[in-house]
Structure 1
């Protein structure tokens, strides 16, 4: 008999090629861990290197003999009539370095897509890399034998590298806004919707409020774990996993940097959201991968995983998507304030880069001419010519390189960021007007009902 349950895991693998400690060992251990689980769907983040994905595929292939490679996905067709635990893989390619996202499923993936975020860091922030990996939202439509199509969105939002200033809050809000549009559009098509991943946002942030209020997504942790009556100050790192669902920067994790200013318990940054209907209900949620690997004597990742188990039944062909709550208007107002502030900072930065281009371009010409002139004047003194050529050439090359970088980052990338901010702000403003209109209409209906009741 086909199962009416659906089990889901989300895990940030911390698979950076050079920066992640003991990456290869840990990713191999993660592959073996997944091969021994009973999950129906797994969403992985920070799986950056192809060899790590290939190893994960080979490990599961040894246990489950299904394998076929696609450019955007890898599936495992049957060779002996049996089914594997993780039958189909989807690895998503994006940007220069790849998205780092993968979706694994027990049931057939009927289609996949990748939505690259419009705002995703700045090209000058090379060491942070968000701009170059092309972060976005990966989706896979999975055919559950009972529930029908389940569309799973897997994402990894821009990190807040500086918790105190959070210079990328505007970009992260824009990314969350794009996700709200994707999940609402999917729900309108009558699909079950699950949105998981590393959102780099605590439950108290605007990103979280936008997803739960405007998109009407349900947080599986809060649904299954009512707000704890225990004061946060009385919680221990171990009890915070049970009561708060902490997944990142926990003192219990071997890889936590103690200098990070996230508090003594860590943060909840990894989530499994879903569009709650009568046909899809979460029954339990757990923080997993909290114990060190016995062989490695360390944790599998610097994040803990999140597990959810659902009850699922066939959804109708199309089900009305609830309108955002009336309180969403205040949240959208706050979003607009943040977007406006970050837009202003971005425009100022772009203007500075354009001015740098206008200054460096003539300087390049000046140094080139000076080098040629001085070299010709000192031609009678051969030892001076090489020195002039080297120094002048370096100055010319440095100014030319700076001018090109300033042009690309200030004018090209800058104009793109400016226009994207404008577009997102307009979309949010339209959404706010709609929410306010709905609230007014609901208020008028309530007043009419009250007046009719009094007349009776």
Structure 2
């Protein structure tokens, strides 16, 4: 629980805030033991030490699960908001010790494709859950809780990387605006990115916030130990090739794909666990696939606040089912008012200045440190404060590649519609001369299903892709403007015409 120090000027000054973020994995009809696990998550949040002040939940899809958690935590987190969005909801909720003065749900303009129904990102309406919380001493805290688009392939070949980058840009813009209003900014969520990846650098540099884990442990991992960039980092830092479970949690903050998490075991091991045959995982066991995808960002460092503690939380199992509470672990951070105003170390500022002229290390996968002083790039670099022109040029190249793909998809969809329309007409004409009833039935069936699929392709190509291209145009303009402000070429509306997006 946040400590309070009575003073004449501020009778209830808050000197610390305990923050937690957790992806609950609460998919209705899909997530196993959903109700039991989320109910237990509520119990653990209520009994958590130290008492929590602000909690951000992701993948809490059903209102009943939210109410269950609220009922368990009401005594310590009396205020809460469940955010509604999309066809099946946004899966986001914010709990608070203090009153929520304002709230809003900002839906991402780019969020998957409707034809990828088996992934569901487009249907759930992902976005940013925003809440303004006023502390007893009058300080405004603006909380931004999100769950970015999942990477279904390895970057940079991930076909959704443009969507995730645009989402990172949008939440960074929201957090920057809150910071400009003078609020304390807390960014929470499952960002589906690894530290120092392209999206990670974008969020920090554009929002003016810092990853609290890297503030405390700047030499922590930049991905799973089996990934080449992380393998190179360990080699240059003279670390063991693969971290064990204890190191993975304590030093690197890995919240996903840990060998400690029962939902990451193979199917045979999960079946054995369901039958009561547990598997012992030791703190010394290797943890090669674990990585950090869940984050807490904060803008108060150097402004009278400091990070007192940060750790991975809720790693324990369900007391009776013996499964992990979720397929992700939680992240907990304590931020405190500092007695003296802190500043970012000079060596970090020097490295940030270096980024103004060369930010190519923020590649479309993870940072590439092969051509620079590794100790300076990792150990000294707590956060990425600024980026240069090359960073924005990388985004523009990504947008251009994706734009060409979507224009091709749009043409194919419209051609499919036209082709099936003519085919359907041809089938109906052929029915007149059909020699047998079963032939006529086949022709009608072919015509019906053909025109149905063609209409769907036409609607997606003509309506959805058009909407997506316009959202991309807005995103591209913002990036070009940022490039101009960073010293790049000036904006020219004559060279940026919407007709170029459809030709």
Same topology, TM > 0.5: yes
Q: Tell me the CA shift for residue 399 of structure 1.
A: 1.2
Identify the match of residue 14 of structure 1 among 17, 20, 25.
Answer: 25
**1:67 — aligned with what?**
none
CA distance in 1, matches of 2:266, 2:239: 23
1:131 aligned onto 2:139 = no
Q: Which runs of 5+ in 1 are unaligned?
A: 65-83, 314-321, 379-383, 438-456
1:280 has 2:305 as partner: yes
Alignment map for 1:408-427 (pairs within 5 Å)? 408-427=459-478
More RCO (CA 8 Å, sep 6+): 1
Q: Which residue of 1 aligns with 2:260?
A: 252
Q: Which residue of 2 aligns with 1:451?
A: none
Q: Residue 333 of structure 1 aligns with which residue?
A: 393
CA–CA separation in structure 2 for the residues paired with 1:174 and 1:205: 14
Q: Tell me the alpha carbon deviations over residues 251-272 of structure 1, each in whole angstroms, 9 at most, x when there is no partner.
A: 111011669xxx8232111000
Match of 1:395 in 2: 446
Deviation at 1:294, TM superposition (A): 2.6
Could you say which residue in structure 2 is the equivalent of 1:214?
Answer: 206
Contact 1:236/1:265 (<8 A) preserved: no
Moved more, 151-160 or 419-428: 419-428
1:357 and 2:382 are equivalent in the alignment: no
**Deviation (angstroms), 1:142:** 0.7
Retained in 2: the 8 A contact 1:246–1:265?
no
Q: Could you list the runs of 5+ residues in structure 2 that have no partner in the other structure?
A: 5-11, 221-236, 268-286, 339-351, 357-384, 489-503
Determine the structure 1 residue equivalent to 2:292.
268
Shift, 1:435, TM fit: 2.0
**What's the offset of the Cα at 1:18?**
2.2
Offset of residue 234 of structure 1: 4.4
* CA-to-aligned-CA distance 1:288-313 (integer Å, 9 cap, x gap): 11122332211100001000111149
Distance 2:305 2:405 in 1: 43
Selected match of 1:111 from 82, 102, 109: 102
Which residue is 2:479 aligned to?
A: 428
Comparing 277-286 with 411-420, greater Cα deviation is found at 277-286
Counterpart in the other structure of 1:450: none
**Residues 150, 192 of structure 1: 8 Å contact kept:** yes
Distance (Å, rounded) in 1 between the aligned partners of 2:421 and 2:265: 43
Task: Give the Å deviation of 1:337.
Answer: 1.9
Inter-partner Cα distance in structure 2 for 1:232 and 1:17: 40
Of residues 167, 175, 178, the one that matches 2:167 is: 175
**Residue 58 of structure 1: CA displacement?**
3.2
Shift of 1:196: 0.7
Is the counterpart of residue 51 in structure 1 residue 51 in structure 2? Answer: no
**1:187 Cα shift?**
0.9
In structure 2, do the counterparts of structure 1 residues 230 and 93 end up closer, same or farther at CA, with 3 Å as the change threshold?
A: farther
- SS of the residue aligned with 1:334? helix
**Cα distance in structure 1, aligned partners of 2:243 and 2:324:** 22
What are the Cα deviations for residues 336-369 of structure 1, in whole angstroms up to 9, with x where unaligned? 2222222222222222111111211221222233
Partner of 2:329: 304
Verify the 8 A CA contact 1:326 1:435 in the aligned structure 2.
no
> 1:326/1:243 Cα in 2 relative to 1: closer, same or farther (>3 Å)?
closer
CA offsets per residue over residues 36-82 of structure 1, 9 Å max, x none?
A: 2311010000011222122223334xxx4xxxxxxxxxxxxxxxxxx
**TM-score calculated relative to the size of structure 1:** 0.82
Which of 53, 58, 70 pairs up with 1:40? 53
Matched, 1:366 2:357: no
Structure 1 residue 211 displacement after superposition: 0.9
Query: 1:454 — aligned with what?
Result: none
Does the CA-based 8 Å contact 2:305-2:337 persist in structure 1?
A: yes
Deviation at 1:395, TM superposition (A): 1.1
Structure 1 position 326, deviation (Å): 5.2
> Is the CA contact 2:149–2:163 (under 8 Å) kept in the aligned structure 1?
yes
Structure 2 CA distance for partners of 1:232 and 1:198, relative to 1, 3 Å: farther
User: Looking at CA atoms only, which structure, 1 or 2, has the larger radius of gyration?
Assistant: 1
**d(CA) in 2 for partners of 1:39 and 1:21?**
27
Contact kept? 1:45, 1:155, Cα under 8 Å: yes
Q: Equivalents in 2 of 1:327, 1:436: separation in Å?
A: 12
Structure 2 SS opposite 1:303: coil
1:334 CA drift (Å): 1.7
Shift of 1:123: 0.6
Q: Does 1:200 pair with 2:192?
A: yes
User: How do residues 77-116 of structure 1 correspond to structure 2 at under 5 angstroms?
Assistant: 84-116=75-107
In 2, distance between residues paired with 1:112 and 1:153?
A: 10
The yes-or-no answer on 1:190 pairing with 2:201 is: no
* Residues 1:119 and 1:360: Cα distance change in structure 2 (over 3 Å): same
Equivalent residue, structure 1, for 2:150: 159
Count of matched residue pairs: 397
> 1:93 Cα deviation (Å)?
0.6
TM-score by length of 2: 0.75
SS in 1 for 2:445: helix
Contact 1:251 1:258 in 2 (8 A): no
How far is 1:330 from its partner?
A: 2.5
After superposition, the CA RMSD in angstroms is 2.4
Q: Does 1:144 align with 2:135?
A: yes
| Equivalent residue number for residue 457 of structure 2 | 406
The structural deviation recorded for 1:163 is: 2.4
Report if aligned partners of 2:173, 2:206 keep a CA contact under 8 Å in 1: no
